[in-house]
């Protein structure tokens, strides 16, 4: 898979960002797609081919790094400078690497589609998460 290579220090929420605060359920790096566990209420890395159904649906993107039980801010929608090089106009999706982001061409057979957003420029992703619960 050709996941985006994200520089965590360059992940920044845009002025129209909608974010929530929470607690990390594992080590998470800024720029990684996450979901909130229904049992622990902690944020975990999302994964498009996880055996756990809720893990296949990202709910946001981590705005900061955190270890287990540390506070984390999660970008739910709006613009985010993702800290990676994007192709303007391209849709980006959750990958089969926990916390990975990739273009549609890299979403493989058996993975669930979770569109994270569209690139507004080579650095800004307009986050609007779409999850039709359909596997390729």
pLDDT digits (tens, 9 = 90+) for 100-109: 999 999 998 9
CATH class of the domain defined by 8-130: mainly beta
Coil, helix or strand at residue 104: helix
Mean pLDDT on 14-30? 97
Residue 44 sits at the vertex; the CA angle it makes with 71 and 126, to the nearest 5 degrees, is 85
Report residue 120's pLDDT band, with 50, 70 and 90 as the boundaries.
very high
Mean pLDDT on 38-65? 97
What pLDDT shows up at residue 123?
Answer: 97
Mean pLDDT on 43-72? 97
Residue 117 sits at the vertex; the CA angle it makes with 21 and 8, to the nearest 5 degrees, is 55
Higher per-residue confidence, 52 vs 1: 52
**What whole-number distance in Å separates Cα of residue 17 and Cα of residue 59?**
14
What pLDDT shows up at residue 17?
Answer: 95
Contacts for 68 with CB less than 8 Å, ≥ 6 apart = 24, 25, 26, 27
Look at the alpha carbons of 47, 4, 66, 61 in this order and tell me if their dihedral is positive or negative.
Answer: negative
pLDDT of 42 > 90? The answer is yes
What pLDDT shows up at residue 64?
Answer: 98
**What whole-number distance in Å separates Cα of residue 1 and Cα of residue 122?**
20
pLDDT > 70 in the chain, percent: 99
Q: What is the mean pLDDT of the chain?
A: 96
Say whether pTM exceeds 0.75.
Answer: yes
């Amino acid at each position: 898979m050709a996941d985006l290579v994200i520089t965590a220090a360059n992940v920044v929420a845009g002025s129209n960002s909608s974010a929530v605060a929470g607690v990390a359920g594992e080590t998470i790096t800024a720029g990684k797609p996450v979901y909130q566990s229904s049992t622990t209420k902690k944020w975990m890395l999302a994964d498009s081919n996880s055996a756990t159904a809720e893990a296949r649906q990202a709910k946001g993107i981590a705005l900061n790094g955190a270890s287990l039980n540390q506070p984390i801010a999660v970008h739910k929608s709006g613009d985010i400078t993702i800290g990676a090089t994007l192709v303007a106009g391209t849709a980006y999706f959750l990958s089969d690497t926990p916390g990975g982001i990739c273009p549609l061409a890299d979403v493989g057979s058996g993975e669930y589609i979770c569109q994270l957003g569209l690139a507004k420029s080579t650095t800004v992703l307009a986050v609007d998460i779409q999850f039709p619960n359909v596997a390729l």
